[in-house]
Amino acid sequence: MEITPIGTFFGDAVYKYDAPRQGRLFAGHPGRIVLNPGCNFETALRDLNGFERIWVLFQFHENEGWRPTTRPPVPAPGRDRVGTFASRSPYRPNPIGLSCVRLLKVDGLTLYVDEADLLNESPIIDIKPYIPMADAFPDAKAGWVDEQNLDLWEISCNDQFEKMNDWIRAHSEFDLLSFVKVQLAHGPLDETRRRITLEPEWGRGIVAYRTFRICFIYDENRREMTLTCVLSGYSEDDLREGAEDKYGDKQLHRDFLKTFRR
């Protein structure tokens, strides 16, 4: 079987850890699907504008290989890992993803969507309309998923974090607040995730986002978290002129530190 992508998804999630887990539940992001020209896809898109949601089949293009079991982002009690075919894990024998996104509008060969959980530049395999009377089974049993505790944490920001995040958003494509909502809304105290460092005795922690570090304080009993500030993940020596710039963002960090240096 040969499958040829019909287009490409474009959005803010560039790295795997940027991607929301189940777009509608965990801060899915907006984006656009651009279909390939010269294939008569304009005609194929006719009448789609009247649908509020669409199914998008896509390729997990950043993955290599597959795994027979996976650790869910929200494990059920007593189930640290589940079988891949009982999960939405991207590490599958055939790297095909399925997502139900909200369709905002169709403009030519471009579909504007929201609540997406795709990575930037994901190849699109197919598009189908979501039909509630055929696709929705709200009373269906969902196995181990029914055992999940989806009691999400409340995440807020202080003035310092908002100023720093606004500055970073104005000078780059990074959105630190969106990332935190994806990563920490559930299970922020799970230190098995390598990007999180905690100091439980002080009720504070740091989560890494690319080359930035986001500081937060938390109240475990009230399940509340406040984002307090942003730090550079580079040392002064890393930021010296002429140093290797693997990610092409060191000037951004230099300007950030000049603006917010205490």
**Under-70 pLDDT residues of the chain:** 17-28, 73-75, 148-151, 186-188, 190-194, 262
Maximum Cα interatomic distance, the chain, rounded to a whole number of Å: 62
- What whole-number distance in Å separates Cα of residue 127 and Cα of residue 31? 15
pLDDT per residue as tens digits for the range 138-159: 888 888 777 766 667 888 999 9
- Whether this prediction's pTM lies above 0.95 is answered by no
Q: Are 123 and 8 in contact (CB under 8 A)?
A: yes
Q: Which helix (H) or strand (E) holds 217?
A: strand 212-219
pLDDT score of 190 = 66
Q: How many CB atoms lie within 10 A of CB 252?
A: 17
pLDDT score of 148 = 64
- The two tokens of residue 251 are 């000037």
pLDDT score of 22 = 54
What is the DSSP secondary structure assignment for residue 210, as one 8-state letter? T
* Helix, coil or strand: residue 54: strand
pLDDT score of 144 = 72
pLDDT score of 226 = 94
pLDDT score of 206 = 92
Q: Are 86 and 128 in contact (CB under 8 A)?
A: no
Of 232, 233, 241, 236, residue with least CA distance to 260: 232
